[in-house]
Amino acid sequence: MGRILRCASALFFLFLSYYLVKPLRNSQFLAEFGPSALPLIYLVVSVASVLVTRVFQWCSLRFTRYQVVSGTFFWAIGCKVFFFLTLQHGGQAVTALFYLWASVYFLLLVSTLWGCLNERFRVDQCQRCFPFIALGSTIGNIAGASLAELMKGAGPKSLLCAALACLFSLALLWRELAYPVQMQQKSPIEDKPAGGFGWLRNRSLRAIAVMVLALAVYSTSTDFITQRRLDLSIGQAAYAEELASLWPDGYEQISSLRSLPSARQEMALRNLAQGQRIDAEQLVVGYNRYKREFSKRLSGVFASIFQVQGILGVVLLGLLCRPFLRRFGLSAALIVMPSFALCFTLVLMFPIDILWVQLILVLSGSLNYSFNNAAKEMLYTSTDREAIIQAKPFIEGPLMRFGDVFCSLLTIFSGLAVARLGWDKSWQEWLIVLPCALALVCWWVLVRRAGLLAHEIPADDGAKESLGS
Report if residue 192 sits inside a domain. no
Q: Could you tell me if 362 and 312 are in contact, meaning their C-beta atoms sit under 8 angstroms apart?
A: yes
Report if residue 32 sits inside a domain. yes
Q: Could you tell me if 373 and 215 are in contact, meaning their C-beta atoms sit under 8 angstroms apart?
A: no
pLDDT of residue 125: 60
Q: What's the structural domain count of the chain?
A: 1
pLDDT of residue 386: 62
**Residue 41 to residues 48, 88, 212: CA-CA distances in angstroms?**
10, 20, 20
pLDDT of 190 higher than 60: no
CA dist 334 and 451 (Å) reads 7
pLDDT of residue 165: 92
Which range marks the domain in which residue 177 is found? 2-184+202-454
CA dist 173 and 185 (Å) reads 25
Report if residue 228 sits inside a domain. yes
Average pLDDT over residues 19-47: 87
Average pLDDT over residues 145-166: 86
What is the percent of the chain where pLDDT is above 90? 6
pLDDT of 301 higher than 60: yes
pLDDT in tens, 345-354: 878 777 777 8
Sign of the alpha-carbon torsion through 236, 241, 247, 249: positive
Report if residue 196 sits inside a domain. no
pLDDT of 73 higher than 70: yes
Q: Please tell me the pTM assigned to this model.
A: 0.69
CA dist 166 and 104 (Å) reads 15
For residue 465, the one-letter residue type is: E
Q: Could you tell me if 462 and 185 are in contact, meaning their C-beta atoms sit under 8 angstroms apart?
A: no
pLDDT in tens, 228-258: 888 888 999 999 998 888 888 888 888 888 8
CA dist 102 and 84 (Å) reads 13
pLDDT of residue 371: 76
pLDDT of residue 164: 93
Report if residue 46 sits inside a domain. yes
pLDDT of residue 361: 86
Residue 143, domain CATH = 1.20.1250.20
pLDDT in tens, 398-442: 788 788 888 888 888 888 888 888 887 778 878 888 888 888 888
118-122, 299-303, 386-390: range with highest mean pLDDT: 299-303
Average model confidence (pLDDT) for the chain?
Answer: 79
Which residue, 250, 286, 289, 22, is CA-closest to 148?
A: 22
Which residue, 46, 158, 28, 156, is CA-closest to 93?
A: 28
For residue 305, the one-letter residue type is: I
CA dist 60 and 392 (Å) reads 13
